[in-house]
């Protein structure tokens, strides 16, 4: 039974972390809102009752409906063998995936420091300050953490020579940060993160995906946005 992925159709956003893992594993899925539109997504989510996802992305698989990016990835990793297959290490991988969730939430907060319900244009002064702090302190804090973790097994991937959901997410994180802060990222040096980024693009499924029209460009409606005024000089 094929997976149904529900995510906003016009941005890579958080859905891209799920797509990349599915594509790397060459697993079939239907990208529902890209096929049927954003209204279909709102209708589908709105029609669900009881314990349901708070927000996209969510994955439907038979009777299961799973929200939260890291949670979806943990489920898929277990079914398609792109975790570790060993409880202790799988828990560490999920922990790292949740660290990615945290930095992605901070990325979003750079453009929405006052409220996620307001447009960037309504909170630009606060965003300017938030971006400075994020660039100077939070990027190095998170990237040092991932770089150190990558040392554990010698790379290029988090587990050494086999990729996991953490690697595809680190790829997307680095791509997103480069798009968002080209000047700031050029000042920083993370050789292990660069190695994993290159190794992920060499995974057959990812290589084919990146060359396809399924791969969406970053844009200013998404999570990773480029506003020159928020980058370093
Ligand atoms: N922690 C959730 C966050 C989900 C989320 O915030 N989704 C965004 C799109 S990327 C959304 O549609 N939010 C609607 C809202 O917050 O009302 C995850 O990692 O999946």
In b/e form, how buried is each residue of 157-172, taking b as 16+ CB within 10 angstroms? bbbeeebbbbbbbbbb
- Domains of the chain with CATH codes: 3-80 (3.40.30.10), 87-203+220-230 (1.20.1050.10)
In the structure, what pLDDT confidence band is assigned to residue 132 with cuts at 50, 70 and 90? Answer: very high
68 pocket-lining for ligand 1 (C-beta < 6 Å): yes
pLDDT digits (tens, 9 = 90+) for 93-121: 999 999 999 999 999 999 999 999 999 99
Which structure tokens are listed for 183? Answer: 């000047």
Model pLDDT, residue 191: 98
Distance 172 CA to ligand 1 centre (A): 17
| Euclidean distance between CA atoms 36 and 1, whole angstroms | 19
Distance 155 CA to ligand 1 centre (A): 31
55 pocket-lining for ligand 1 (C-beta < 6 Å): yes
Closest atom of ligand 1 relative to the 54 alpha carbon? 4
Of all protein residues, the one whose alpha carbon is nearest to atom 10 of ligand 1 is 14
Span 185-196, average pLDDT = 98
| Euclidean distance between CA atoms 102 and 95, whole angstroms | 11
pLDDT digits (tens, 9 = 90+) for 198-228: 999 999 999 999 999 999 999 999 999 999 9
Distance 215 CA to ligand 1 centre (A): 20
Task: Strands of 45-198 (E only): list them.
Answer: 58-61, 64-67
156 pocket-lining for ligand 1 (C-beta < 6 Å): no
Distance 68 CA to ligand 1 centre (A): 8
3-state secondary structure 146-169: HHHHHHCCCCCECCECCCCHHHHH
Of all protein residues, the one whose alpha carbon is nearest to atom 16 of ligand 1 is 55
Is the whole-model pTM more than 0.85?
yes
14 pocket-lining for ligand 1 (C-beta < 6 Å): yes
Q: Residue for token digits 């150190």?
A: 148
Model pLDDT, residue 57: 98
Which structure tokens are listed for 141? Answer: 């804090």
Closest atom of ligand 1 relative to the 67 alpha carbon? 20
Distance 55 CA to ligand 1 centre (A): 5
């Amino acid at each position: 039974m094929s997976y149904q992925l529900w995510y906003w159709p016009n941005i890579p956003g958080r859905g891209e972390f799920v797509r990349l893992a599915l594509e790397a594993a060459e697993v079939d899925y239907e990208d529902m809102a890209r096929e049927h539109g954003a209204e279909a997504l709102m209708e589908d989510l709105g029609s669900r009752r009881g314990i349901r996802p708070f927000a996209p992305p969510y994955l439907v698989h038979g009777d299961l409906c799973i929200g939260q990016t890291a949670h979806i990835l943990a489920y898929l990793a277990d079914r398609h063998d792109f975790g570790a297959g060993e409880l202790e290490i799988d828990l560490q991988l999920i922990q790292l995936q949740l660290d990615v969730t945290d930095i992605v939430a901070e990325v979003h907060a750079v453009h929405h420091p006052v409220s996620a319900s307001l447009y960037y244009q309504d909170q630009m002064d606060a965003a300017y300050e938030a971006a400075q702090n994020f660039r100077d302190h939070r990027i190095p804090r998170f990237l040092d953490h991932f770089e150190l973790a990558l040392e554990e097994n010698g790379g290029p991937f988090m587990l050494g020579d086999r990729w996991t959901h953490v690697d595809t997410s680190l790829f997307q994180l680095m791509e997103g940060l480069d798009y968002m802060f080209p000047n700031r990222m050029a000042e920083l040096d993370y050789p292990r993160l660069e190695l994993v980024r290159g190794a992920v693009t060499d995974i057959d499924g990812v290589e084919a995906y990146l060359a396809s029209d399924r791969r969406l460009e970053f844009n200013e409606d998404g999570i990773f946005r480029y506003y020159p005024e928020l980058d370093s000089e």
